Structure 1
């Protein structure tokens, strides 16, 4: 197996900026694919073990010395558990997927991507299949005897979307896989090409592309089979190793845990990002980077710690930017902290900053919407705040609220 992943700018953006090329990495490995068990009542249903052997990482940079661009590099691939992933396979369709219960999300996602390639049909037509990409529509076309082309499209997977489409992203994806099969209709050679282009709706010229190429070749020789005798696949699996559990085949979101040195606290990241939050830095990459680091920390912070940050004299000069951050975080704790401190905002500028950020936040919270709607119905002496509250309540209720709230505000 050889898999290459290239990261770059979209073609339209490359031509304007003279981009020097893509960067990325390559993974090479051998796969040991063994049928462990056959259903005694249906020989087409097989429990298959797929094990990755001798994985090696190669990297490509814009200054790579080799013409092909990839050079060998050390990696944590050697730490990936050697346990195989198991699939219950029926005539080319993956029915169930199993793995060791303690394996990490990162390792499992890599293995999910590998086993997904072994799902294929030998008839033409349009079908639905579920693999690491989610639930996809697929078409199969016969190019010649035992040579099939598979095209995946309209893959559906749970993902966060910005409620304001103008502030969201557009993505175009292409998946094509060619299967060259043996006389027994088993894969002899598999070629996969996958490309994703993502661009900002508001700025189509700003975007990135990810291109993946994978090659699977059947090596000569036959591995020894140690078939498991069992009446069911569950019994066979437990005879192999009782730690195996069923897992979804779709790739799962991976959450980054703290390193051994410990996680940076909100206060520490705020101190390190102070210069990036100054008014003169707004609109820069430096400011955007700080924003992306701070919002998740604010979302995990308590009311007391968030109030303390807003009250600190050290943060007086960046208070408007903190209002942007709290509004974007859109948690009950951040909302309570902001509302408590902004009671003293007689002019209303910082309150407006908070409400503007809250109105376009991608995070949904019904309790905050209800509170904003309630406040918009109160009599407020500051006309500017009163108007902004009403507008914020309307837009939040329309995008995230219940039908009752939407009707009330519109």
Structure 2
């Protein structure tokens, strides 16, 4: 068998030499017939419902000069190219091709210097059209081939690609192209998988030669599968098949010249170029932004924030906005007719994320003025979420910090530049050593050291939480271990946001805080330390320590209850941890009989529930409620978008309270050391992991009692309004026929969040309510746009998922708390639009088809646990 294999390889090598000696003998003229089929279809329709086009004709290849040592000068003639639409019917339907870009080019001529299977140089006449020139380059690229096994790098019309050649037989060869890159394309994507897009590309050429070494046929296939990771039913498949087949071979007249350079001098009117494509305006016209905003105005009013139509309206404006100049954006912002939608225009400016949009903002508003604080904060908060952070914008905002006297604006600027720096550091080819990022880090650390009060320190600790620079972990740990409870808890909250790989070396310190080894710590600091320890892949010893703690005499029963809830939640999510936990519990008789594990008192809860699934995104919500003295002390609800094993928090709403235990009960639970008796309550908000300036409901007994007696605390407080981008993906590819494929996906979340926190001393109860109105929209588009033909499919999704969280506490006798987590009925709408057009045709309108799909998703009330159900029943009696 080995001898047969060696013989085959020797035969293939001899054929390889024969191919390149005889492939294009000078004075031969070979005519090929060619067909190029392009098709596009979406995931929801079958391939039979694809749209696309076909270009067919003849190609004459003449070898007019050269030899096997220096290569050959090949002349190409494109003869009678024809364009067909609608599933490749024999004639175009309702189209006048007299003005098609192909009309008038029935005998296109171009040249190439071909040497040993490589196009060394290309020579093309200026056709005044980049897309046609790219089509010619694609034909030349097909003639770039080898006929032996091997791996190399080649540059052709699709870019610079990794190439693998596989000789299937002595006359049949396979060429596989991967990892094609083009530095002229500016692509961007979110590094977060659950908010990203997936592209799978297959590029394969099959080359066949005749027995005497002539090129017989080339079959080139180029397939792209493009999908949105969060939505299983949103995606596209595109294909471009290029087939050349040898027909008539005859002799032709050769160029008489003394050298190759002299032969090239005879090519009058031809320009030397490469196979890399020309990049014109590859995308279609996005329209006039002024007119588009006028049309979208009704959907951008304040009362529409939190609805799907406002999210969809923003998406339709972003692409056009990214091509707009500062003066145009300024004219829109300051227009009389746009005054009532100015807050939403701030969201648009932030989503555009160009230097021009930032120039328009700072030309309108001055950060040092107290006027227009709402619009200033609206822009900055939305800017912190964007995925295309500009180093120039970070640097300019950083320079402005010292000049800002308004505490709220200063706080918001700090959080914005910290969040932007985090994204910049995690961008491709960037890290935390970036100059702007380092400057932001130094400002936060320096300002933190200079602060004289806790309120000031917490501003910069939040900044470190948003920045998440590994260099700041030591500083935050020092604050967590040594500072009073308010700063310690703030530092722990910041540490909880860091990558677990960066925290792994600090496990001993987190154990110190949770188990109170060196001193006593605030219960919130302890529970956050527990959250971190559980995220660091606990082993058998760690779980054994947790179970032993449940048997300890530590009087903080709410901390113990919190631990039990977290262990159960993690066991539900992770099968391996569930096995480990059961093994440890079973080996401890004192716990295994539920004397400890099942009989703990306490109201703290931790749970996760499925929030959304196909046909919507795959998502869950996680609720953590830490109770102290019968009152909510720290509560978070995270709305998570999931993909594979990754979870991303699209929105976090958290309630916090302190100093209220004396109003509720005189419970025997241990009082936190150094706990401030000042009554406080408020809300912390994070949009896509970026923490904003917190909203304080009340601070101090006087303000609390004012709310209690006046009833103002019973009114809902608008905690957050905004429209921000979720998905933000754009990629450009060049197909094997030279056409530029533009794939883009934009997703937006429009949110209106209201919250309230009330305490009644008369009725001895305390209630909190969070109403979250969300509008989600997605636009995903694949487009082949050129003057030859334009084909496009767009899928849009819109929905209004909502989640409402309420807590009721009755402390008239024994403290009882009821948590309710509800979702109303919603409808998801999907629209699929297909268009095909010949831009230079006389026909005024493109072929267009629209399909609407609607899905009804029933609401639900989430069952939290049996204990909560019993308490709710008791309160509702």
Calculate the TM-score normalised by the size of structure 2. Answer: 0.41
Please say if residues 122 and 275 of structure 2, whose CA atoms lie closer than 8 Å, have aligned partners that are also in contact.
yes
Total equivalences in the alignment? 386
Q: Which moved more, 1:21-30 or 1:355-364?
A: 355-364
Q: Is 2:279 aligned against 1:246?
A: no
Please say if residues 369 and 397 of structure 1, whose CA atoms lie closer than 8 Å, have aligned partners that are also in contact.
no
After superposition, give the CA deviation of every residue in 1:49-105 in whole Å (9 maximum; x if it has no partner): 2221111111125xxxxxxx5342234321448442221111211111221245421
Q: SS in structure 1 opposite 2:358?
A: helix
Please say if residues 381 and 416 of structure 2, whose CA atoms lie closer than 8 Å, have aligned partners that are also in contact.
no
Q: Is 2:142 aligned against 1:111?
A: no
Q: 2:40 aligns to what?
A: 7
Please say if residues 35 and 227 of structure 1, whose CA atoms lie closer than 8 Å, have aligned partners that are also in contact.
yes
Q: Is 2:77 aligned against 1:51?
A: yes
Q: 1:332 aligns with which of 333, 355, 359?
A: 355
Distance change >3 Å, CA 228–CA 295, structure 1 → 2: same
After superposition, give the CA deviation of every residue in 1:292-334 in whole Å (9 maximum; x if it has no partner): 23432x2xx243x432321112012332332233223333332
| Superposed CA RMSD | 3.1
Q: SS in structure 2 opposite 1:162?
A: coil
Q: SS in structure 2 opposite 1:178?
A: strand
Unaligned runs of 5+ in 2: 1-33, 441-468, 470-877
Q: Is 2:89 aligned against 1:70?
A: yes
Q: 1:236 aligns to what?
A: 263
Residue 282 of structure 1: how far off its partner (Å): 2.1
Q: 1:171 aligns with which of 189, 199, 205?
A: 199
Q: 2:339 aligns to what?
A: 316
Using the alignment, how far apart are the partners of 2:377 and 2:261 within structure 1?
Answer: 59
Q: 2:425 aligns to what?
A: 398
Q: 1:370 aligns with which of 395, 414, 417?
A: 395
Q: Which moved more, 1:127-136 or 1:192-201?
A: 192-201
Q: How does 1:263-282 map to 2 (within 5 A)?
A: 265-275=288-298, 277=300, 279=304, 281-282=309-310
Using the alignment, how far apart are the partners of 1:170 and 1:404 within structure 2?
Answer: 32
Q: SS in structure 2 opposite 1:214?
A: strand
Q: SS in structure 2 opposite 1:179?
A: strand
Residue 396 of structure 1: how far off its partner (Å): 5.3
Q: Is 2:221 aligned against 1:193?
A: yes
Residue 2 of structure 1: how far off its partner (Å): 0.6
Residue 206 of structure 1: how far off its partner (Å): 2.1
Q: 1:66 aligns to what?
A: none
Q: How does 1:277-316 map to 2 (within 5 A)?
A: 277=300, 279=304, 281-284=309-312, 287-296=314-323, 298=324, 301-303=325-327, 305-316=328-339
Using the alignment, how far apart are the partners of 1:328 and 1:178 within structure 2?
Answer: 45
Q: 1:142 aligns to what?
A: 167
Using the alignment, how far apart are the partners of 1:91 and 1:376 within structure 2?
Answer: 63
Distance change >3 Å, CA 196–CA 361, structure 1 → 2: same
Q: SS in structure 1 opposite 2:365?
A: helix
Please say if residues 173 and 206 of structure 2, whose CA atoms lie closer than 8 Å, have aligned partners that are also in contact.
yes
Using the alignment, how far apart are the partners of 1:257 and 1:126 within structure 2?
Answer: 34
Please say if residues 323 and 353 of structure 1, whose CA atoms lie closer than 8 Å, have aligned partners that are also in contact.
yes
Residue 141 of structure 1: how far off its partner (Å): 1.7
Using the alignment, how far apart are the partners of 2:119 and 2:363 within structure 1?
Answer: 54
Please say if residues 359 and 396 of structure 1, whose CA atoms lie closer than 8 Å, have aligned partners that are also in contact.
no
Q: 1:32 aligns to what?
A: 60
Distance change >3 Å, CA 38–CA 302, structure 1 → 2: same
Using the alignment, how far apart are the partners of 1:293 and 1:346 within structure 2?
Answer: 30
Please say if residues 318 and 352 of structure 2, whose CA atoms lie closer than 8 Å, have aligned partners that are also in contact.
no
Q: 2:211 aligns to what?
A: 183
Using the alignment, how far apart are the partners of 2:234 and 2:114 within structure 1?
Answer: 42
Distance change >3 Å, CA 323–CA 185, structure 1 → 2: farther
Distance change >3 Å, CA 185–CA 255, structure 1 → 2: same
Please say if residues 372 and 392 of structure 1, whose CA atoms lie closer than 8 Å, have aligned partners that are also in contact.
no
Please say if residues 375 and 389 of structure 1, whose CA atoms lie closer than 8 Å, have aligned partners that are also in contact.
no
Please say if residues 369 and 396 of structure 1, whose CA atoms lie closer than 8 Å, have aligned partners that are also in contact.
no
Q: 1:84 aligns with which of 106, 109, 119?
A: 109
Using the alignment, how far apart are the partners of 2:154 and 2:413 within structure 1?
Answer: 52
Using the alignment, how far apart are the partners of 1:8 and 1:307 within structure 2?
Answer: 40
Q: 1:386 aligns to what?
A: 413
Q: Which moved more, 1:111-120 or 1:78-87?
A: 78-87
Using the alignment, how far apart are the partners of 2:258 and 2:352 within structure 1?
Answer: 53
Unaligned runs of 5+ in 1: 62-68
Distance change >3 Å, CA 368–CA 118, structure 1 → 2: same
Distance change >3 Å, CA 56–CA 314, structure 1 → 2: same
Using the alignment, how far apart are the partners of 2:298 and 2:202 within structure 1?
Answer: 41
Using the alignment, how far apart are the partners of 1:44 and 1:183 within structure 2?
Answer: 24
After superposition, give the CA deviation of every residue in 1:237-274 in whole Å (9 maximum; x if it has no partner): 33131x22222212232216999xxx965434433444
Q: 1:342 aligns with which of 361, 365, 383?
A: 365
Residue 44 of structure 1: how far off its partner (Å): 5.2
After superposition, give the CA deviation of every residue in 1:353-383 in whole Å (9 maximum; x if it has no partner): 4335544556564432311222345544215
Please say if residues 376 and 393 of structure 1, whose CA atoms lie closer than 8 Å, have aligned partners that are also in contact.
no
Calculate the TM-score normalised by the size of structure 1. Answer: 0.82
Please say if residues 80 and 107 of structure 2, whose CA atoms lie closer than 8 Å, have aligned partners that are also in contact.
no
After superposition, give the CA deviation of every residue in 1:15-60 in whole Å (9 maximum; x if it has no partner): xx67862111111111111112215xx5450111222111111112
Q: SS in structure 2 opposite 1:34?
A: strand
Q: 2:186 aligns with which of 125, 147, 160?
A: 160
Using the alignment, how far apart are the partners of 2:46 and 2:119 within structure 1?
Answer: 44
Using the alignment, how far apart are the partners of 2:388 and 2:319 within structure 1?
Answer: 14
Please say if residues 160 and 180 of structure 2, whose CA atoms lie closer than 8 Å, have aligned partners that are also in contact.
yes
Q: 1:209 aligns to what?
A: 237
